[in-house]
Amino acid sequence: MTSEPQSSFRRFARDVDQLLRGGFTQEDQLKIGKIEVPVRTLVIASLVLGALYGCAMGIYSWTMRGGEGVIQVFASSVKVPLLFLLTLLVTFPSLYVSSALARSRLLVGDSLRLLLAAVAVNLALLASFGTVTAFFTLCTDSYPFMVVLNVAFFGVAGLVGLGFLRQALTRLFGEEASAQGVLPRETEEADGIPLMVKRRVPRPVSQRVFSVWLVIYGIVGAQMGWILRPFVGAPSLPFTWFRQQRESNFFAATFEALGKLFQ
Amino acid sequence: MSAIAARLRASRLLGEVDSLLRGTGVHAVGGGRVPWVRIGLVLIVTGFAYGCVMGYFAGRPRQAFYSGLKVPLLLVVSTLICLPNYFMVNTVLGLRDDFAAAFRGVLSSQGTVAVVLAALAPLTALGYVSSSFYPFATVTNGVMFALASIAGQVTLARHYRPLIAKNPKHRVCLRGWLVLYVFVAIQLAWVLRPFIGAPRMRVRFLRHDAWGNAYVHVTDAVWQVLTGQ
């Protein structure tokens, strides 16, 4: 009776482990434009990993407000994975349309799987910072410090997620560029001696579309974070699921927190 | 009989320490099973020894005992807090197959820090005997921790050299580990203070305002110096 749930959990854990180790973004699979990881696995992994970090983030409110702040732990554990998934939801249609126009090899399902995989890697790294965030939460009263610390961890995790995506895209579009005949020869001869030649490889249009999209994703993500706030929960303000104030933005608020840290 | 057993235990500990410092036997560079129990025991015993000396500045045995507990606690808990991130960074960078070898290096460096601290304990004691000036004791211990950290880096570099030669991505992991570890260890040391025990203050395991943030205090202090407020 219990073997079925156990085996599906094991399969899920194995898939997540393979994903983090880059098993689903190997060159041979990307050559044929395939990413063989179920969307469901990626979504569940993102939800669980995001919730873990959300809990660590929300503990600050709990320590500052006591029992009243427990709801913030729950709210943050829901909002962190939502932040990433909603950002993807908002930006994915425009990416798909542009990459289809640029004749990218990735079809809609594979594009979505690749981006979800990058989100899951991003959230896995973020979750691994959870112990450090929780530790600092227990030692810190300073709200600006917690804001800056969380922004730093989101930034580092985002860069790693970006690196994962960039590596996969280079593998994918490297093949594509080669197929289009735009890759130069690696060697040329001088006086009959073969020499290694380094040349700048022109990137295909479809890869440039992804690069532009990454910038848009970053900006939308930052603003989505602003809309979904509070995540940490300012101790001077009562708990709300969403702040009513719509003025300002993520970047202005981060600089303000940095300024307050030095006051 | 008990004297013989104690001597045997001491020689076994010395053998373990020697093997750890030289990187031989079970502490050799490379993969395989990580001897975390052995390194842990060495770390606890030697860290406790240094902590006892460190806390005996004002001649208070209770403070010495507390500091003896806190030095290994500092090294072990900092490692545990940073470990999930270290594991994840290794995994995401595709270095999981080398994780045992890398983790062996990290644990060995922590063990080395504790052993070197214990070896420096007589110098700290000499400093305490020479001066009862509290800031001098603080500086002495700061120097000892700095020297022990450098020794820890030697062990870590020894374990990481073949890994970096195999895959340069290991350098990213190593730097990431060092940055996060130092960031966490400074804060944990702040929380666990006092280690030396200022003579004018009561003996306590933790200060009543222990759960503060070291970085916020430092930025406040820098701000006050700069603005003169």
pLDDT score recorded for residue B149: 94
Cβ partners under 8 Å of residue B159, min gap 6: B23, B29, B101, B102, B104, B105, B106, B108, B109
Chain B positions touching A130 (Cβ under 8 A) are 84
CB distance A92 to A115 below 8 Å: yes
Cβ neighbours of residue A104 closer than 8 Å, sequence gap 6 or more = A111, A176, A206, A209
Can you give the residue range of the structural domain that contains B17? 2-227
A2 part of a folded domain = no
Q: Which two tokens stand for residue B122?
A: 């007589």
The CA radius of gyration of chain B, in Å to the nearest whole number, is 19
Which chain A residue is nearest to residue B223, measuring alpha carbons?
Answer: A262
A196 pairs with which residues across the strands? A187
* ∠ Cα B184 B190 B193 (to 5°): 135
- Looking from the CA of A13 toward its CB, the CA atoms found within 13 Å total 6
Domain count of the fold of chain A = 1
Whether A215 is covered by a domain: the verdict is: yes
Q: For position A181, what pLDDT does the model report?
A: 46
End-to-end CA distance of chain A: 61
Structure tokens at B74: 């500092």
Question: Is A1 inside a domain boundary?
Answer: no
Tokens (6 digits) for A138: 């227990």
C-alpha dihedral over B176, B179, B184, B187, to 10 degrees? -170
Amino acid A140: pLDDT: 87
Provide the pairing of β-strand A193-196 with A187-190: antiparallel
pLDDT tens series, chain B, 229 aa: 567 777 767 778 888 899 899 988 888 988 788 899 999 999 999 999 999 999 999 999 999 999 999 999 999 999 999 999 999 999 998 899 999 999 999 999 999 999 999 999 999 999 999 888 899 999 999 999 999 999 999 999 999 999 999 999 999 999 999 999 999 999 999 999 899 988 888 888 888 777 788 898 888 878 877 776 6
Question: According to the model, what pLDDT value does residue A56 have?
Answer: 94
Q: In A, which residues are within 8 Å of B85 by CB distance?
A: 125, 128-129, 131-132
Give domain status of residue A3, yes or no: no
Nearest to A25 by CA among B92, B229, B179, B129: B92
Distance CA B219, CA A190 (A): 60
Chain B residues closer than 8 Å to A165 by CB: none
Closest by Cβ to A136, choosing from B87, B88, B187: B187
DSSP conformation letters of A102-136: TT-S--HHHHHHHHHHHHHHHHHHHHHTHHHHHHH
Measured between alpha carbons, how far is B226 from B229 in angstroms, rounded to an integer? 8
Residue A134: closest C-alpha in chain B: B81
> DSSP letter at B209?
T
Chain A: closest CA distance from residue B130 (Å) = 36
- pLDDT of amino acid A93: 87
- Which residue in B162, B197, B159 sits closest to B70, CA to CA? B197
Are the beta carbons of B155 and B23 closer than 8 angstroms? yes
Look at the block and give the residue holding tokens 């995401």. B92
ipTM over 0.95: no
Nearest residue in B to A133, CA atom: B81
What is the mean pLDDT of each successive set of 10 residues along chain A, which is 263 residues long? Answer: 63 83 74 76 92 94 85 94 92 82 78 89 94 93 90 92 82 61 48 52 71 84 87 86 73 76 66
Q: Residue B2 and residue A13: Cα distance in Å, rounded?
A: 51
Contacts of B45 (CB under 8 A, 6+ apart): B13
Of the candidates A17, A129, A145, the beta carbon closest to that of B216 is on A145
The partner residues of A123 in beta bridges, in order of sequence, read none
| A213 part of a folded domain | yes
3-state secondary structure of B89: helix
Is B73 an interface residue toward A (CB < 8 Å)? Answer: no
CA dihedral (B51, B52, B55, B56) positive or negative: negative
Angle at CA of residue A98, ends A93 and A102, nearest 5°: 145
Amino acid identity, residue A164? F
Instruction: Please tell me if residue B19 touches chain A, with a CB cutoff of 8 Å.
Output: no
What's the domain range around A88? Answer: 8-261
- Cβ partners under 8 Å of residue B16, min gap 6: B38, B41, B42
CA A172/CA A106 separation, integer angstroms: 9
Bridge partners, A193 (sequence order): A190
Residue A99, number of CB atoms within 10 A of its CB? 21
What's the pLDDT score for residue B88? Answer: 94
* Kind and range of the H or E run holding A196: strand A193-196
Burial of B149 (0-12, 13-18, 19+ CB in 10 A): middle
> What are φ and ψ of residue A188, in 5° steps?
-140, 165
